[in-house]
């Protein structure tokens, strides 16, 4: 997420009570988690397993819990609880407010129909000729293109299902990202599209999602993708253009699927998949092989 007002590493260290190592004049322009970090961003790390990856990332400023050598051109902020410090920054940039405590400031394009009971959050931008059916929710800062349909009961921009396991239990990681629905997207009833933890969850142009489809945080769904009812896609996945996910297919987190991939009904995907193939089963295998294996298994008990 981008900060409305950039801040120097030195000023941030003073605000958080952190020890500064490196260039204190560096400007922090955004907050990001490691999967989507860019120059100018601050991210955090609190486990030795991920120190090297985070220190070598594009992040300009890094919150961590142990003193380490500062890579050239970066700044380190040493804090005993990096996650808590990071989360406080996100909550400060995107505070929770009472719904009645502010006037909605959504921008709605010409020809768009907003049905009774639909809720538009702060900073929402909606294009022309869209249809928002009763009781749908468009969360703060989300963007809809032109000719988008959001059916009844759908939620666009809910908090990510993202928690930090601590000694006190599971602590919610405040979601600072947003959602973008591009032109001609269709969301069926009761779809749920989680906002990015720190970036933007994207549903690509012309994609159609059936009822009760769940899209996790920071996903990138390509153009003209079809998803049948009850498909579930975990966080940080990439689904290529023109792909088809049949009913109740499940995609594990951090998976990338190439263009024109077909996932058959009730299949489970736990690894990256190349483009242009059909897949079946859980865990998935190429559909032709899966069907051959099924035939062989059925014949095992047959008499010769």
Q: Residue 146 is part of a domain; what is its CATH number?
A: 2.160.10.10
Residue 113 covered by a domain: yes
Q: What percent of the chain has pLDDT over 90?
A: 78
Report percent pLDDT > 70 for the chain.
96
Structural domain contains residue 302: no
Shared domain check, 186 and 217 = yes
Q: Is 298 a member of any domain?
A: no
pLDDT digits (tens, 9 = 90+) for 79-110: 999 999 999 999 888 887 766 544 467 899 99
CATH of the domain at 6: 3.40.1390.10
* pLDDT of res. 101: 47
> Does 303 reside within a domain?
no
Domain of residue 44, residue span: 2-93
pLDDT at position 33 is: 85
Per-residue confidence (pLDDT) for residue 297, from 0 to 100: 72
Same domain, 164 and 276: yes
Q: Based on the domain organization, do 271 and 242 belong to the same domain?
A: yes
Whether residues 78 and 168 share a domain: the answer is no
Q: Is position 175 within any domain?
A: yes
- 131 and 220 within one domain: yes
pTM of the model: 0.85
**How many domains, in total, are found in the chain?**
2
Mean pLDDT across 144-164:
96
The predicted model gives 8-22 an average pLDDT of 94
Residue 152 lies in a domain: yes
Residue at which a domain ends, from 45, 68, 93: 93
Pair (155, 276) in one structural domain: yes
Same domain for 42 and 187, yes or no, is: no
Task: Count how many residues are written for the chain.
Answer: 304
71 and 171 co-located in one domain? no
pLDDT range class, residue 245, cuts 50, 70, 90: very high
Which residues are identified as catalytic? 217
Instruction: Write down which residue in 35, 65, 93 finishes a domain.
Output: 93
Q: Clarify whether residues 108 and 257 are in a common domain.
A: yes
Give me the mean pLDDT over the 13-28 stretch.
94
pLDDT for 273-292, tens place per residue? Answer: 999 999 999 898 887 777 77
What is the per-residue pLDDT across 255-277, written as a single tens digit (0 to 9) for each? 999 999 999 999 999 999 999 99
Task: Annotate the chain with DSSP letters as a single string.
Answer: -EEEEEEEHHHHHHHHTPEEEE-TTPEEEEE--GGG--TTEEEEE-SGGGHHHHHTSS-SEEEESS--PPPTT-EEEE-S-HHHHHHHHHHHHS----GGGS----EE-TT-EE-TT-EE-TT-EE-SS-EE-TT-EE-TT-EE-SS-EE-TT-EEEEPPS-EEEETTEEEE-----EEEE-TT-EE-TT-EEEPPSSSEEEE-TT-EE-TT-EE-TT-EE-TT-EE-TT-EE-TT-EE-TT-EE-TT-EE-TT-EE-TT-EE-TT-EE-S-B-TT-EEETTTTEEHHHHHHHHHHHHHTTS--
Please say which residue of 69, 93, 117 terminates a domain: 93
**Does 300 reside within a domain?**
no
Claim to verify: residue 136 and residue 284 sit in the same structural domain: yes
Q: What is the pLDDT of residue 301?
A: 65
Are 187 and 238 part of one and the same domain?
A: yes
pLDDT at 294 exceeding the cut of 90: no
Say whether both 186 and 81 belong to one domain.
Answer: no
Average pLDDT, the chain: 92
Give the up-direction half-sphere exposure of residue 36: CA atoms within 13 A in the CB hemisphere: 23
Helix 82-93 and helix 9-16: axis angle, to 10°?
110
- Does residue 98 lie within any of the structural domains? no
């Amino acid at each position: 997420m981008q900060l409305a007002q950039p801040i120097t590493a030195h000023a941030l260290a003073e605000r958080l009570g952190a020890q500064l190592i490196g260039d204190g004049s560096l400007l922090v322009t955004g907050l990001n988690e490691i999967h989507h970090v860019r120059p100018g961003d601050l991210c955090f790390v609190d486990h030795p397993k991920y120190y090297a990856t985070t220190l070598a990332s594009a992040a300009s400023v890094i919150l961590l819990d142990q003193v380490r050598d500062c890579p050239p051109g970066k700044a380190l902020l040493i804090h005993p609880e990096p996650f808590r410090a990071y989360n406080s920054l996100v909550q400060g940039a995107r505070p929770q407010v009472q719904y009645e405590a502010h006037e909605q400031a959504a921008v709605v394009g010409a020809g768009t129909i907003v049905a009774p009971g639909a809720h538009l959050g702060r900073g929402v931008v909606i294009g022309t000729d869209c249809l928002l059916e009763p009781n749908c929710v468009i969360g703060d800062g989300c963007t809809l293109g032109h000719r988008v349909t959001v059916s009844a009961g759908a939620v666009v921009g809910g908090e990510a299902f993202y928690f930090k396991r601590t000694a006190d239990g599971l602590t919610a990681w405040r979601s600072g990202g947003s959602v973008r629905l591009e032109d001609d997207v269709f969301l069926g009833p009761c779809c749920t599209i989680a906002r990015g933890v720190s970036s933007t969850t994207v549903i690509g142009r012309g994609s159609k999602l059936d009822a009760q489809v769940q899209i996790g945080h920071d996903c990138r769904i390509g153009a003209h993708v079809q998803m049948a009812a009850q498909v579930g896609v975990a966080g940080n996945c990439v689904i290529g253009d023109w792909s088809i996910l049949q009913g109740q297919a499940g995609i594990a987190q951090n998976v990338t699927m190439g263009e024109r991939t077909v996932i058959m009904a009730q299949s489970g995907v736990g690894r990256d998949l190349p483009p242009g193939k059909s897949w079946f089963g859980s865990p998935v295998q190429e559909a032709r092989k899966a069907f051959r294996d099924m035939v062989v298994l059925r014949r095992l008990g047959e008499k010769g």
